[in-house]
Amino acid sequence: MLSDLANTEKKITTWPGVQIAPSQSGINEETVRCYRRATFTLNYARGFPASGVDCPLHTARDSMIMKICGELALVGAIASVFIVAAQGRAEERAAEEAAGREYILKLDEKVGQAKNKRALANWAYESNMTAYNEEQMMIVSLEVAEEEKENWKETMSYLWHEFEDEDLKRMFQKYTILGTSALPEDLNQRLIQAISNMQSTYAKATICDYKDRNKCDLHVEPETDRWRSLSEITNIFATSQDPEELKYAWLEWHRVAGAASKGNFTEYVQLNNEAAKLNGYDNAAEWWLSEYEASDSEVQFATLWSQVKPLYLQIHAYVRRHLRLKYGDEVVPARGPIPAHLLGNIWAQTWGNVEYFTRPHKDKPEVDVTAALIAQNYTALKMFQAAEDFFKSLNLSGMPDLFWERSIIERPDDGREMVCHASAWDFFDGEDFRIKQCTTITNAFFITTHHEMGHIQYYLQYKDQPQIYRSGANPGFHEAVGDVIALSVSTPKHLKKMGLLQEGPEDAESNINQLYKMGLDKIVFLPFAYVLDLFRYGVFRGTTTPESYNCHFWMLREALQGVQPPAPRSEYDFDPAAKYHVSADVEYMRHFALANSSKVLVMVAKSPIAIPGVRQFQFHRALCELAGEYTPGSDDLASCDIYNNAAAGSALGSMLSLGSSKPWPDAMEVLTGQRIMDASAVLDYFRPLYDWLIEENARTGEYIGWEASEVVLPLVFNSETRSDAEPQPGPSKRLTTE
Ligand SMILES: *[C@@H]1O[C@H](CO)[C@@H](O)[C@H](O)[C@H]1NC(C)=O
Ligand SMILES: *[C@@H]1O[C@H](CO)[C@@H](O)[C@H](O)[C@H]1NC(C)=O
Ligand SMILES: [Zn+2]
């Protein structure tokens, strides 16, 4: 089990050697409390799942969620006065509603054009990061923002609360959420600039090679780079077995991509909170959470985590043992959190790269089709065509011609800087959809391509909805689509069909290997995703202040992920920004909320959903059992491939085509018959692995959980720490100018 708080407190009181220089900027009492772990008890104790099941971080705030304030409430009040006066004048009300409908349809069309313009400008910049393109993007952003604001004012003047048509009301309700344009123009400009600065810092950050300090163009993305040999940072983490090199690369990347963004992040938080207030939310955390359309979404997240946590603890303990065997007790303490630089990924967000030396059954070959892809002359284009074929096999849409014309599927060879992070774009004109991805021929990109195309599929399915509904049913849905597809694609069954894997016996040991590999990817990712937004909720709510950003970040990572930094950190560091989604202002809980995606998969694959009115999960499952497709408690779940299953495709399509026109529980119900997020299918899926790990960890006597980190604690605030965080010669020259 995790270390308990009493233990931690004891450690603090006996912890020697803290030096704090109060005069130094960036440090206040809160900083000191945090590094002494006092904050741990003050602010976070209730949120830390130290004792297991529940994580009641939210309870005091439920009432605040979706709270309407300010202008919106005022307009509502005025509206009801008018409505009372209008009673009995049904005709007038009907006329008013008709006018509202006409207005909103016109508005929706205008908004489509504005979104199109903005997406084009963003694309131009992200695919070609010049100063000119950045300026153009800013200009368009501000133009659109101004237009949105004018629209918003007009929308607010309608008495829509009293309309009869629920759908019309839903559109009005969505259009009364303005976004950051609600800010006065100068503040909005500062907000856009702050985010742009962070993105630019991230995109242009580079570090020097550990062995060749003259070579200073190493970046995190793309994952591999075939014009240079194994030199990119991601590859170092994938392949290096030298803890010193890994530590160096980890520290350097966090220095150039993280610390440099702290000031911009602080400004972004303030302005984003201001914008949230103007949209009727207490702060940006409540705003983000409102997208889940459930007053208890934080409870649901906590429940998901508590369902998955026992499995995570087993994987964690098992991996730690193997890392300890490899690197020794000194580097990997037997009962401590795992050093974050040893997990094969710079953020320790997925651990697939340690699979090759931790595989449960070493004599069974691993499922990695990289070699087969290369041997069969796969190109980026061929991978994209394979992904398209998958969607077509489900009787879903192929990619339109414009997609092939305008997507960027390989890193351009003309020396321009671009954001290589794979992304899928909707241009909101019903025709233009693109992917931007620096593909290399690997197993990982084979999966990623399917995932990104899942987003495009969603765009295509809801392209005929009003603009305001052209988004996922909730932020988790968009990610779930790609992931559901990817789950199928990565099964040996599917890879054999594709001719990428040789025929071979599918035995229990290979199955454990395969589940383990997926666990390193999917299960391990959950606490990471959860932490990233728990951290930002705290920041937006003001419980985490700039003086303790980094400390709280690591407190959360240690408590939930059970990882620790390779060296002591301070508030001169800002490690969250070394992750793209923090620097780019992208909400991340969506990645966590899709934990139930394998349930969706199971439902899609196994349910004859075409039967109208059949909504009960049990009923679907019973049918599947009758069909001999799935037996509860069996190991079949992990080997299901929905390829070529048109019934599954049409069920999926009918959910996707709803966009956000209905609350997400309705959309989920269409597919699964369930209305709440539930991770039990995840556990069903991984059950054979879970059982195996429990036995294996017991056999080796591995400690389950972790005690308090020895690394996070002894932070020394002195001048050395400070100079460490300042730019050093080398890569920094690339940071300052275009
Ligand atoms: C990149 O943007 C610049 C404008 O700043 C433009 O002149 C150039 O043609 C663009 N490059 C590509 C490859 O589109
Ligand atoms: C770096 O470059 C300088 C000058 O080009 C050279 O003298 C030095 O040996 C190089 N250092 C390394 C570690 O290669
Ligand atoms: Zn995605």
Q: What is the pLDDT of residue 60?
A: 26
DSSP characters over 309-362: HHHHHHHHHHHHHHHHHHH-TTTS-TTSPEEGGGSSSTT-S--GGGHHHH-SST
The DSSP bridge partners found for residue 425 are 434
Catalytic annotation on 316? no
Question: Residue 263: which pLDDT band, with cuts at 50, 70 and 90?
Answer: very high
Q: What is the pLDDT of residue 464?
A: 97
What's the angle, vertex CA 461, arms to CA 175 and CA 119, rounded to 5?
Answer: 55
Average pLDDT, the chain: 78
Question: Residue 31: which pLDDT band, with cuts at 50, 70 and 90?
Answer: low
pLDDT in tens, 200-236: 999 889 999 999 999 998 888 654 333 333 337 888 9
- Quick check: 162 pLDDT over 70? yes
Best residue among 208, 211, 214 to mutate for probing ligand 2's pocket (most ligand atoms within 8 Å of CB) is 214
Q: Which ligand is nearest to the CA of 437?
A: 3
Q: Quick one: CA dihedral 193, 197, 199, 200, positive or negative?
A: positive
Cα-flanking dihedrals φ and ψ of residue 733, to 5°?
-65, -30
pLDDT in tens, 271-296: 999 999 988 899 999 999 988 888 88
185 annotated as belonging to a binding site for a ligand: no
Q: How many residues in the chain?
A: 738
Q: Which residues, 6 or more positions from 205, have their beta carbon under 8 angstroms from its beta carbon?
A: 219, 220, 253, 256, 257, 260, 731, 735
* Pocket-forming residues, ligand 2, beta carbon under 6 Å: 212-214
* Residue 435 near residue 407, CB atoms below 8 Å: yes
Q: Alpha-carbon distance 2 to 68, whole Å?
A: 39
Residue 96, CA distances (Å) to 71, 106, 151, 332, 649 in order: 21, 16, 18, 69, 41
Distance 212 CA to ligand 2 centre (A): 8
* Residue 564 near residue 339, CB atoms below 8 Å: yes
Instruction: With CA atoms as reference, report the closest residue to 180 among 145, 144, 154.
Output: 145
423: enclosing H helix or E strand = strand 423-426
Q: What is the pLDDT of residue 598?
A: 39
- Atom number of ligand 2 nearest to Cα 211: 13
pLDDT in tens, 55-111: 222 222 222 222 222 333 334 444 445 555 555 577 888 899 999 999 999 999 999
pTM, entire model: 0.73
Q: What is the pLDDT of residue 52?
A: 25
Q: Whose CA is nearest to atom 11 of ligand 1?
A: 128
Q: What is the pLDDT of residue 514?
A: 84
Q: What is the pLDDT of residue 36?
A: 59
Q: What is the pLDDT of residue 712?
A: 55
Distance 597 CA to ligand 3 centre (A): 13
Q: What is the pLDDT of residue 480?
A: 75
Question: Residue 493: which pLDDT band, with cuts at 50, 70 and 90?
Answer: confident
Q: What is the pLDDT of residue 621?
A: 34
455 annotated as belonging to a binding site for a ligand: yes
CB burial class (10 A; 0-12, 13-18, 19+) of residue 514? buried
